[in-house]
Structure 1
């Protein structure tokens, strides 16, 4: 049972790593559809 859980954990780690790498390549847009420089929204700003 432990070996089976270890294999599942390794597969999940690989999947999460692949998804994280995939997301880095995609451009980020704000709610108005404008390309965001720097990648992430300033969370102190209102969404209005």
Structure 2
């Protein structure tokens, strides 16, 4: 879905002593993206050096 369109027109850029000629506009889109990931369960957990020094 398009949310906003603005800033259309010339977008010239001065490079050293010459201009780079460009034209354009800004468009903002809003999209929906669903992401599902299965997560592995942690069944056991142990900390090393339990009988340590």
Q: Please give the range of the TM-score, normalised by the shorter of the 2 chains.
A: under 0.3
The higher relative CO (CA closer than 8 Å, separation ≥ 6) is in 2
In the superposition, the TM-score normalised over structure 2's length comes to 0.23
From the two aligned structures, give the one with the greater helix fraction.
1
